[in-house]
Structure 1
């Protein structure tokens, strides 16, 4: 057994698809919720939370290719993975969407 961490399976591709799904759901869900909040005249704070979630999802989606290349290089080079910024964006986007939903529920 060698010390190599690279596996020839499709784990990286599945992980990339999971990041894409997360980003798409944050961006489309945030845009839809923002539109509904504005259309129905709900609290502006709810729309801001949803819009921030959509913005984080959009950034995650834009970074998908860069993240995938870096993961591949790290795995092939035996270096540790670093996806701190992407995890922070996903966390912030999810937290913003939840905050928008809480404001939405409280004001309705």
Structure 2
């Protein structure tokens, strides 16, 4: 840190890069889960319930993808902002909804 700069200089090191990579891995994992759920729904009898499940899975995946990519772009800044409460709740809601759909498919 330089005392002559007048402001606080942040040496983030590799932390933002690690966080960005973690978001990318999580997005990939969510994509795989969505594809497997769609495959399971489409291999069934094609009932309206299965089609609705596939549609809901796709919508949840798109919502998660939007939140994750927005966060990845934010982390590219020199001083990235913290994750907003709204984004955190959206990610948790998407994760819980995919888990609930997985349980519904298994039962």
Q: Unpaired runs of 5+ in structure 2?
A: none
CA RMSD of aligned residues (A): 3.0
* SS of residue in 1 equivalent to 2:75: helix
Q: What is the aligned residue count?
A: 100
* SS of residue in 2 equivalent to 1:6: coil
Q: What residue is the counterpart of 2:100 in the other structure?
A: 99
Q: What residue is the counterpart of 2:41 in the other structure?
A: 37
Instruction: Give the distance between the partners of 1:56 and 1:40, measured in 2 at CA.
Output: 25
Task: Show the 5 A alignment for 1:47-58.
Answer: 47-58=54-65
Q: Unpaired runs of 5+ in structure 1?
A: 75-79
Q: CA deviation at 1:103?
A: 0.8
Q: What residue is the counterpart of 1:18 in the other structure?
A: 22
Q: What residue is the counterpart of 1:88 in the other structure?
A: 89
TM-score (norm 2): 0.68
* SS of residue in 1 equivalent to 2:73: helix
TM-score (norm 1): 0.67
Instruction: Compare 39-48 and 81-90 and name the one that shifted more.
Output: 39-48
Which of the pair has more CA radius of gyration?
2
Say which structure, 1 or 2, has more relative contact order (CA 8 Å, 6+ apart).
1
Is the helix fraction higher in 1 or 2? 1
